[in-house]
Amino acid sequence: MFKRVLAALRRLIRRKRAPSPSEQEWLRMILLVRKLQHGQHAFVQRLDDIRALTGSMGSFRSDFGALHEQLGAARESAGDLERGLSERLAKLDGLPDPSAERADVDGRLAHMDVLAARLETLAAEAPTGPAGSTELQALLARLTDLATRLESSQESERSFGGQEELARLYERIQELAEGLAQKRRAHDGDAHDGDDNAADLGEHVERLGEQLETLDCALEALGSGDSLQMLGNTLARLEKLARRFERKSGELRANALASGEMAALLARFETLAERIEQAPVFLPELPPGATTNALDASEAARELEGVRAAILCEQESRRHTEDELRALKEKLRSSELARTPS
């Protein structure tokens, strides 16, 4: 009961009465002030957003200007790359064709193979009967020494001995001609005993002269020492030929060569020596007046090392040029792709 009374009193106390007109005016003013404050706060926020947007626009303009400058620099670099590429292409067009050089080397190798085959044929056709002389045995010994020297020069390429061996060969042939001229002896007393063998030996001497001339032409056709590294099989065949020739010539009987045939052999060697002196092998990159016979051993070695170094530098420069040209092409392609609108 008491609780009901308290609840009724509370309801009476809490009963809302209608606000008076003055109170309503005050309430309206308070609401307006609150709305004005909210509007001012929103306006201030909008101003802050505008300031931030203005700053971002300024940074965007600066970034766009830098990008424009980079684009101009890229265009200039692309022009430089195009000019450099055209210059490199012009230089490459002026270089010799590698296929022609390789064909030249192959031709020289084929010529050496033909020479070796002809020398083997000469050894097979050599007479087995006793019809030789001490000078011919000395010649065979010198040919064997020549094959050994050529093989040793092929095995030790780092010593650059190719042209030096050719010079020594020319000196040996000249010394041989002089020795034959000094050791000429008459064989008139034994001419009637070796008439049959003299004809065969004459043919053999003629073939030997032809093979020596062919060997001279092949040695003149050799260029630098670099081509010796591809002549292993040919040198082996030459060494085999020299051994067979020496073995067969050991069976020949001495003092059976007629004086006329000896004179013909001596004349052939003298002619070969004169041809070598008149038309020697010219080393690459040397002046036309510089011959192999006129060079000293150490000077010739230095010249050959210089030529080898120049050739290696030229090959390295060509390889570097090709790599640089390939890199320039890649850069130009990437710049073209970058300039192409997506």
pLDDT at position 16 is 59
pLDDT at position 337 is 75
pLDDT at position 289 is 46
Bigger pLDDT: 174 or 46? 46
pLDDT at position 267 is 58
pLDDT at position 97 is 74
Cβ neighbours of 201 (radius 10 Å)? 26
Bigger pLDDT: 313 or 33? 33
**CA end-to-end span of the chain:** 89
Chain centroid to CA 329: how far?
Answer: 21
pLDDT single digits (tens) 196-229: 555 555 555 556 556 555 555 555 554 444 444 4
The span from the CA of 231 to the CA of 234, in Å, is 5
pLDDT single digits (tens) 96-147: 777 877 888 888 888 877 887 787 777 777 555 444 556 666 766 776 676 6
Please tell me the pTM assigned to this model: 0.23
Q: Indicate if the pLDDT at residue 150 is higher than 90.
A: no
Q: Which whole-number Å values give the CA distances from 117 to 163, 217, 235, in the listed order?
A: 23, 15, 12
Bigger pLDDT: 283 or 3? 3
Residue 71: pLDDT band (50, 70, 90) is very high
Q: Indicate if the pLDDT at residue 46 is higher than 90.
A: yes
Bigger pLDDT: 218 or 168? 168
Residue (of 216, 144, 141) closest to 179 by Cα position: 141
Contact between 326 and 304 (Cβ < 8 Å): no
pLDDT at position 39 is 92
Of 15-29, 48-62, 67-81, 118-132, minimum mean pLDDT range: 118-132
Bigger pLDDT: 62 or 147? 62
